[in-house]
Structure 1
């Protein structure tokens, strides 16, 4: 198991939970850092001393308390780490669930695991640590599986983009129906709109219309 771990997290209550989880799997040499700049310097210093970390566990978002920081997010920290320490194992532990963000970390920054910080997060974190130590296979929380294993690709039409755009403007389905009728766009019935939006939410693994709009923005569709 990993002998030395660095946790980059700025909430003490989360750190307490992580500490308990690491203790339970026999990891006791753990350092906790609240700032990304300091975390990178800690990683580099440990490497230069010949006492490198075996694993980094990092959040993605950090509160701005006024302390000047060059690296303002976990994603920026991980990008910086990968510039110098390409083989260092990294687990992201975050509430962030945007597919674009997860795919970037998985495909481009080559993290080992992505764990969603929810009620099962610490349990999944322990699984991810074990998986990262024993295997090169990527591990992700089951709830986010679709982010890296999307359903069969389908064509997103101009009609779909119009529906999402109207949603982003706060229009209800009845109003969207009237807007489509005014422009001569079919199908324009509320039932057809509801059916297509249901399909789009399922395809993009969106929880609700607002989530669908957010995902569409992440992918640059609107």
Structure 2
């Protein structure tokens, strides 16, 4: 079992629940931090002192209370951790259930567990900690298992990314169709582009093409 854990969460009521969930797990030291910048500094200082954290439990969303922050989300914190401490184990504990966001954390940022803040969230968190501490298996809350199941996961293709890139450059569907045809990409008709854009907007929960482009940029797709 882990001996030193850092919890990054800005709501006291959630922290109280996490404290209850961690009781009885024989974790010697658990620290709680409300800001992502402060969390990263604490992780770095612990490493430099030779007393590194073994597990980070982090939310994804943090309220803006006016305190200046370079890292404004759990995603940004995890990305920075992965850059400097690639072997540090991370479990996300969040209400977020969008598949593309979870897939980014799982595939690109290599987190070890994803626990959904649901009715069974604290029980699942205990399970996640046990799994991550004793194996190399990825843990995800049962209700979200289909998000990363290879037979059910919806893959974003290279042509999808190219389509979004053309949108970001202000190209209209007719011009995009022409570009795709020039590259030998099929289907490339205007109607096919319309259908794919509709699918991508629904998949990413985007309100319009501009919003789709913004989301794609946020997750490093373009």
User: TM-score surpassing 0.5?
Assistant: yes
1:44-55 correspondence runs (5 A): 44-55=44-55
With 25-34 and 91-100 compared, the bigger mean Cα shift is at 25-34
How far apart are the structure 2 equivalents of 1:119 and 1:160? 40
How far apart are the structure 1 equivalents of 2:63 and 2:135? 33
Residue number in structure 1 paired with 2:103: 103
Q: How big is the shift at 1:25?
A: 1.8
Could you give the per-residue CA deviations for residues 68-95 of structure 1, whole angstroms, max 9, x where no partner exists?
0000000000000011100000000000
How far apart are the structure 2 equivalents of 1:83 and 1:2? 22
Residue number in structure 2 paired with 1:121: 121
The runs of 5 or more residues in structure 1 that have no matched partner are 166-199, 205-211
8 Å Cα contact 1:128-1:139 kept in structure 2: yes
8 Å Cα contact 1:90-1:111 kept in structure 2: yes
How far apart are the structure 2 equivalents of 1:9 and 1:133? 21
Q: Relative to structure 1, is the Cα distance of residues 39 and 153 closer, same or farther in structure 2, using a 3 angstrom cutoff?
A: closer
Q: How big is the shift at 1:26?
A: 2.1
Residue number in structure 2 paired with 1:213: 202
Q: How big is the shift at 1:159?
A: 7.0
Q: Give the secondary-structure state (helix, strand or coil) at the position aligned to 2:206.
A: helix
Q: How big is the shift at 1:128?
A: 0.4
Are 1:36 and 2:25 an aligned pair? no
How far apart are the structure 1 equivalents of 2:197 and 2:119? 31
The runs of 5 or more residues in structure 2 that have no matched partner are 161-186, 216-222
Q: Normalization by structure 2: what TM-score?
A: 0.72
What RMSD over aligned residues (CA atoms) do the two structures have, in Å?
3.0
Q: Give the secondary-structure state (helix, strand or coil) at the position aligned to 1:30.
A: strand
How far apart are the structure 1 equivalents of 2:33 and 2:153? 41
Higher gyration radius (CA): 1
How far apart are the structure 2 equivalents of 1:82 and 1:4? 18
How far apart are the structure 2 equivalents of 1:51 and 1:153? 41
Q: Relative to structure 1, is the Cα distance of residues 46 and 107 closer, same or farther in structure 2, using a 3 angstrom cutoff?
A: same
Tell me how many residue pairs correspond in the alignment.
178
Q: Normalization by structure 1: what TM-score?
A: 0.72
8 Å Cα contact 1:22-1:28 kept in structure 2: no
How far apart are the structure 2 equivalents of 1:87 and 1:163? 38
Q: Relative to structure 1, is the Cα distance of residues 62 and 152 closer, same or farther in structure 2, using a 3 angstrom cutoff?
A: closer
